[in-house]
Amino acid sequence: MKANNKLIAEFMGVNLITIDDIRANKNPHISSADGYTKEDLQYHTSWDWLMPVVQKIGDEYLNTPFDETYSKLTEGYENIWTIEDTYNAVVEFIKGQEVMDIHAQYSFYIECCVDEVEGEIALSFEEWKQLNS
CA angle 69, 67, 76 (to 5 degrees): 60
Question: Does residue 92 contact residue 47 with C-beta atoms inside 8 Å?
Answer: no
Q: Whole-prediction pTM value?
A: 0.65
Task: Quick: pLDDT tens for 6-37.
Answer: 888 888 888 887 766 654 554 444 455 667 88
What is the structure's pLDDT at 132? 58
Mean pLDDT for the stretch of residues 37-47: 89
Task: Quick: pLDDT tens for 58-90.
Answer: 998 888 899 898 888 888 888 778 999 999 999
Q: What is the residue extent of each domain of the chain?
A: 2-97
Question: Does residue 100 contact residue 93 with C-beta atoms inside 8 Å?
Answer: no
